[in-house]
């Protein structure tokens, strides 16, 4: 063996001990290569686990020691760990969001409600407010109607936490990916969205909805949430809340809804804009019927009704809603009706304009829809027949006010306030003061004389008075006070007051009945002075007039210088109609707020204002006015009628107030420029040279009463009682002097020295008044309108229904009137 081979062999065969493996050198070489491979693989593994830096990786991914696809597939530990970390993060985020979420204040718009006004039959007159909503308590919604909504929207409402996790995730996914917007909302979520959030569809808004829904369950009961939901939903037809929906679809209150009706209303929540037309649109009706049936099917499925009950509902047919009738608003007479009712509510509660303005009140009125329409139609018919403002300047600015009262209760059943708020006429002529009532005041003089008698001789007790008592009816007589002194008038050359009638007819001494029928002024001015202002004023107040509308103590007071409203005059005559029992006029029967009825709206109890004998006697006299006096045009009604005409100075106002046993109505007519306060003469209006209460006002009255009483039985007035012999004014020819009428001081030659207590007078063509006091508006009160050129309702002065000749006396100066609103 050569030296080279020996050296090689020696190195190759040596081991730790220098021994050569038994396998020889080839085996040694194979062993050496195996050890090196293992060392290299271990090194690779360590490098993979520690990375290039040599440190061990926190997450073994891609997976070390794996090749191909397995290298990239996570282990089950990695999957579980990742899930736990993600779930923990979500829980943490939700917990943080829940802890930091606060329930916001309710949106003001969602709390806005309207006031709803109802006719006397319970149907809706109008809603006042921008939002047609009236919240109701859940107790006012029938249980099964509540379940109609739960079956349709959220059957698990009473057991779920306020959210539907599956629906929620589905809705969030669709919105996040730009897909179709979905609700996925429980009733709690819908309540939250309606009440606290906006209707915008976004992920952020949806997440807030979820958080608030979860949190609100801890602060509100399920009943409160359901109540809020039912009151906040939009149902179509401008109806917000179930009460408004019940009204607009079925003319019912929420508590009157049936299961079948409730199923339809529940169906409208999803598609209100389509289903609101289910009464007229065949497509909408078909879809509504399908959804209605679905709700009933669900009611069976959740065991709220039986299958047999469902079949009954299906057999009865789809409950087609009533035709859509949008609110009439405040046009026509509605504005005046609402105004009158609102004033009554404020007068009988502590509610203010601001509180009523917030809405939420249901106000039930006494107004009869048919009668209101009939009164408005009668005014329109009169205006169309007589007034032509486009071609006759005298017909411009003519106005009418009227009121109709049930005499047995005082309920105001109809009124006419003017052309309408939509026409720019804001003042309610039926409830406004400022139009003198003229001779329609004379029945109050007569009633006071019947009750109190008259001091016909100074210093003597009052003598009994009856309608057959006679007084001087001549034109231009001087008027005496209870002291027998003639009343002064510095403007007259004689220094004395000479009371005027419409015409210088020499009536002589006539009965008070005759003077009432022909509306002669002088007997009633003198009667009033003898009875006394205090007694007459008291009689007026007990009959129902208000002190603020009564004129001051003047001779003109007795023939109508006072300015009560048409409502109050109708009510005063209703006192005669109801045999002396006065009922305060009222216009509201019930007010409901938040499901609770407010106290204080019971019908006013009647009080005895005068003996029935007095009222029945006045009624008997007023029947004579219609039968043979100035009110004969009222005979067109074809029923027993009692009434009185009234026309004031210079024809500035004309009235007719009349009644049957069932109904009392007052109609006034006047002329006023809306831009300039103050009554104007109505001479020439309607082509009449003189406008009397017996003409156009009586025409309005008769037209309305004919329609209002249609179908009602004809009733008779009570017979007038026998009153015996009444005293006559001293000086009456052939009259038997009364025991108290013999004093010389009552003689026509009695001293004309003015009584300081009466004060100076102005002499006017129709009557005299004391110096006119200044009213609160700075204008002076009129002395002229009460008696007026026509004797305060004298139709023609001498004949019933005729036209009087032109007066020969000088015209009365024009004065503005107290309390008149522009």
Instruction: Note the pLDDT tens digit of each residue in 109-156.
Output: 667 788 999 999 999 999 988 788 888 999 999 999 999 999 999 999
Residue 95 confidence class, pLDDT cut points 50, 70, 90: low
Cα 225 → chain centroid: 29
Q: For position 196, what pLDDT does the model report?
A: 76
* Residue among 672, 682, 659, 690 nearest 822 (CA): 672
User: Which domains does the chain possess?
Assistant: 438-583+607-732+742-769 (3.40.710.10)
Give the pTM.
Answer: 0.71
- Cα(35)–Cα(315) distance, rounded to whole angstroms? 94
Q: Say what the pLDDT of residue 47 is.
A: 54
Q: Which two tokens stand for residue 741?
A: 């009428």
**Confidence (pLDDT) at 785:** 31
Instruction: For residue 664, list its beta bridge partners.
Output: 405, 659
Assigned token pair, 130 = 């921008």
Q: Residue 346: which pLDDT band, with cuts at 50, 70 and 90?
A: very high
Q: Quick one: pLDDT band at residue 3, thresholds 50, 70, 90?
A: very low
In angstroms, how far is the first alpha carbon of the chain from the final one? 148
Mean pLDDT of 772-789: 32
Instruction: Find where tokens 């909504």 sit.
Output: 149
Top-confidence range, 47-61, 73-87, 543-557:
543-557
User: Which pLDDT band, with edges at 50, 70 and 90, does 55 fall under?
Assistant: low
Specify the pLDDT at position 185: 81
pLDDT bin (cut points 50, 70, 90) of residue 36 is: low
Determine the Cα–Cα distance for residues 183 and 54; give it in Å rounded to an integer.
54
pLDDT digits (tens, 9 = 90+) for 268-319: 998 888 888 899 888 899 999 999 999 999 999 999 999 999 999 999 999 9
How crowded is the C-beta side of 111, counted as CA atoms within 13 Å?
Answer: 7
Of 10-14, 67-71, 677-681, 698-702, the one with minimum mean pLDDT is 10-14
Reference 29, options 9, 47, 45; nearest CA is 9
- The set of residues, in sequence order, having a beta carbon less than 8 Å from that of 472 and lying 6+ positions away, is 508, 509, 522, 523, 526, 729, 731, 732
Residues in the chain: 822
Give the pLDDT confidence score for residue 822 in this predicted structure.
24
Q: How far apart are CA 656 and CA 658, in angstroms?
A: 6
Q: How far apart are CA 572 and CA 448, in angstroms?
A: 13
- Give pLDDT, residue 752: 32
What 3-state DSSP class applies to 773?
coil
* More confident position, 177 or 786: 177
Before 62, cis peptide (omega within 30)? yes
The pLDDT, as a whole number, for residue 324 is 87
**pLDDT over threshold 90, residue 805:** no
pLDDT confidence of residue 178: 56
pLDDT at 588: 98
How far is it, in rounded angstroms, from Cα 769 to Cα 754? 14
Task: List pLDDT tens digits, range 620-638.
Answer: 999 999 999 999 999 999 9
Is the pLDDT higher at 685 or at 188?
685
* Mean pLDDT, range 206-230, rounded to an integer: 82
Cα distances (Å, whole numbers) of residue 692 to 28, 499, 643, 708, 809: 148, 20, 14, 24, 19
Confidence of residue 103 (pLDDT cuts 50, 70, 90): low
| pLDDT value at residue 477 | 94
- % of the chain at pLDDT higher than 90: 57
How confident is the prediction for the chain on average, in pLDDT? 81
Nearest partner of 240 among 363, 129, 103, judged by Cα: 129
Does residue 86 register a pLDDT over 50? yes
Percent over 70 (pLDDT), the chain = 76
Tell me which residue has tokens 């959804």: 291
Q: What is the 3-state secondary structure (H, E, C) of 264-331?
A: HHHHHCCCHHHHCCCCCCHHHHHHHHHHHHHHHHHHHHCCCCCHHHHHHHHHHCCCCCCCCCCCCCCC
What is the DSSP secondary-structure string of 169-208?
HHHHHHHHTT--------HHHHHHHHHHS-S---HHHHHH
| pLDDT for residue 614 | 98
Backbone angles phi, psi at 510, to 5 degrees: -125, 160
Instruction: Label the pairing between strands 653-659 and 768-769.
Output: unpaired
Judged against a pLDDT cut of 90, whether residue 577 lies above it is answered with: yes
Dihedral angle at the C-alpha atoms of 594, 595, 596, 600, nearest 10 degrees? 90
Phi-psi label, residue 721: left if phi above 0, alpha if psi -120 to 50, beta otherwise = beta
- Residue 803 predicted with pLDDT over 70: no
Element at 45 (helix H, strand E):
helix 24-50
Contact 656/667 with Cβ under 8 angstroms?
A: yes
Q: What are the pLDDT digits (tens) for 373-389?
A: 999 999 999 999 999 99
**Stretch 367-371: mean pLDDT, rounded?**
98
Task: Please report where in the chains the tokens 């009121």 appear, as a residue.
Answer: 403
DSSP string, 78-109: HHHHHHHHHHHHHHHHHHHHHHH--PPPPPHH
Q: Bridge partners of 676?
A: 673
Residue 722 in tokens: 């026998």
pLDDT band at 39, cuts 50/70/90? low
Q: Do the Cβ atoms of 622 and 443 come closer than 8 Å? A: yes
The pLDDT value recorded for residue 81 is 74
Q: What angle do CA 722, 728, 731 make, to 5 degrees?
A: 160
**Which residues lie below 8 Å from residue 211, measured CB to CB, with a gap of 6+?**
97, 98, 101
* Cα 673 to Cα 691: distance, rounded to the nearest angstrom: 18
pLDDT digits (tens, 9 = 90+) for 226-256: 999 999 898 998 899 999 999 999 999 999 9
The structure tokens listed for 503 are: 């015409």
Q: Residue 762 pairs with which residues in a beta bridge?
A: 769
- Among 322, 157, 328, which residue's Cα sits nearest to residue 246? 322
What is the SS3 assignment for 765? Answer: coil
* Rounded average pLDDT over 555-571: 97
pLDDT per residue as tens digits for the range 717-729: 999 999 989 999 9
């Amino acid at each position: 063996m050569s030296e080279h081979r020996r050296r090689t062999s020696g190195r190759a065969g040596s081991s730790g001990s220098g021994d050569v493996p038994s396998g020889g050198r080839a085996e040694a070489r194979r062993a050496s290569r195996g050890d090196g491979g293992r060392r290299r693989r271990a090194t690779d593994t360590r490098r993979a686990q520690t990375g290039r830096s040599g440190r061990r990786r926190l997450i073994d991914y891609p997976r070390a020691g794996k090749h191909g696809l397995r290298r990239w597939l996570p282990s089950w530990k990695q999957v579980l760990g990742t899930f736990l970390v993600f779930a923990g993060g979500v829980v943490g985020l939700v917990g943080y969001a829940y802890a930091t979420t606060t329930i916001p204040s309710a949106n003001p718009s969602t709390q806005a409600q309207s006031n709803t006004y109802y006719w006397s039959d319970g149907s809706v007159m109008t809603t006042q407010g921008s939002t047609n909503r009236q919240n109701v308590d859940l107790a006012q919604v029938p249980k099964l109607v509540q379940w109609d909504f739960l079956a349709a929207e959220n059957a698990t409402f009473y057991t779920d936490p306020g959210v539907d996790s599956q629906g929620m995730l589905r809705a969030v996914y669709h919105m996040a990916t730009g897909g179709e917007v979905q609700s996925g909302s429980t009733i709690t979520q819908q309540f939250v969205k309606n009440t606290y959030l906006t209707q915008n569809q976004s992920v952020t808004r949806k997440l807030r909805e979820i958080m608030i829904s979860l949190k609100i369950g801890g602060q509100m009961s399920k009943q409160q949430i359901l109540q809020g939901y039912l009151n906040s939903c939009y149902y179509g037809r401008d109806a917000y809340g179930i009460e408004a929906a019940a009204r607009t679809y079925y003319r019912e209150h929420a508590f009157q809804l049936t299961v079948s009706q409730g199923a339809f209303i529940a169906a409208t929540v999803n598609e209100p804009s389509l289903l609101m037309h289910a009464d007229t649109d065949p497509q909408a009706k078909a879809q509504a019927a399908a959804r209605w049936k679905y709700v009933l099917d669900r009611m069976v499925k959740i065991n709220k009704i039986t299958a047999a009950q469902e079949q009954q509902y299906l057999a009865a047919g789809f409950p087609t809603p009533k035709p859509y009738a949008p609110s009439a608003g405040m046009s026509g007479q509605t504005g005046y009706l609402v105004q009158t009712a609102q004033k009554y509510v404020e007068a009988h509660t502590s509610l203010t304009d601001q509180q009523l303005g917030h809405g939420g009140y249901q106000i039930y009125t006494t107004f009869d829809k048919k009668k209101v329409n009939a009164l408005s139609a009668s005014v329109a018919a009169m205006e169309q027949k007589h007034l032509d403002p486009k071609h006759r300047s005298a017909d411009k600015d003519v106005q009418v006010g009227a009121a109709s009262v049930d005499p047995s209760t005082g309920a105001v059943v109809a009124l006419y306030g003017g052309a309408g708020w939509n026409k720019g006429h804001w003042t309610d002529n039926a409830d406004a003061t400022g139009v003198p009532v003229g001779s329609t005041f004379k029945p109050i003089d007569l009633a006071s004389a019947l009750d109190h008698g008259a001091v016909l001789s100074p210093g003597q007790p009052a003598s009994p008075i009856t309608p057959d008592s006679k007084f001087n009816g001549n034109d231009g007589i001087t008027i005496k006070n209870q002291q027998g002194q003639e009343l002064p008038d510095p403007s007259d050359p004689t220094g004395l007051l000479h009371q005027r009638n419409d015409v210088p007819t020499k009536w002589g001494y006539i009965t008070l009945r005759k003077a009432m029928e022909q509306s002669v002024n002088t007997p009633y001015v003198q009667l009033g002075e003898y009875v006394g202002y205090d007694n007459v004023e008291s009689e007026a107040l007990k009959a129902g007039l208000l002190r603020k509308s009564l004129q001051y103590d003047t001779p003109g007071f007795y023939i109508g210088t006072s300015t009560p409203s048409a409502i109050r005059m109708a009510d005063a005559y209703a006192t005669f109609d109801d045999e002396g029992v006065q009922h305060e006029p009222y216009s509201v029967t019930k007010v409901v707020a938040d499901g609770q009825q407010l106290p204080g709206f019971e019908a006013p109890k009647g009080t005895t204002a005068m003996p029935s004998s007095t009222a029945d006697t006045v009624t008997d006299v007023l029947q004579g006015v219609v039968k043979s006096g100035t009110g004969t045009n009222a005979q067109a009604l074809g029923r027993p009628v009692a009434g009185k005409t009234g026309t004031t100075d210079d024809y500035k106002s004309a009235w007719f107030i009349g009644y049957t046993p069932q109904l009392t109505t007052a109609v006034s007519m006047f002329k006023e420029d809306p831009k300039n306060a103050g009554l104007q003469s109505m001479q020439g209006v309607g082509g009449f040279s003189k406008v009397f209460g017996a003409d156009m006002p009586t025409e309005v009255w008769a037209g309305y009463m004919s329609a209002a009483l249609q179908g009602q039985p004809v009733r008779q007035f009570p017979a007038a009682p026998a009153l015996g012999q009444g005293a006559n004014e001293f000086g009456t020819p052939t009259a038997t002097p009364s025991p108290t009428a013999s004093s010389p001081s009552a003689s026509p030659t009695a001293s004309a020295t003015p009584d300081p207590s009466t004060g100076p007078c102005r002499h006017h063509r129709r009557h005299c008044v004391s110096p006119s006091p200044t009213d609160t508006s700075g204008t002076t009160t009129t002395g002229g309108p009460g008696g007026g050129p026509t004797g305060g309702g004298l139709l023609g002065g001498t004949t019933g229904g005729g036209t009087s000749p032109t007066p020969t006396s000088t015209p009365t100066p024009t004065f503005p009137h107290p309390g008149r609103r522009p």
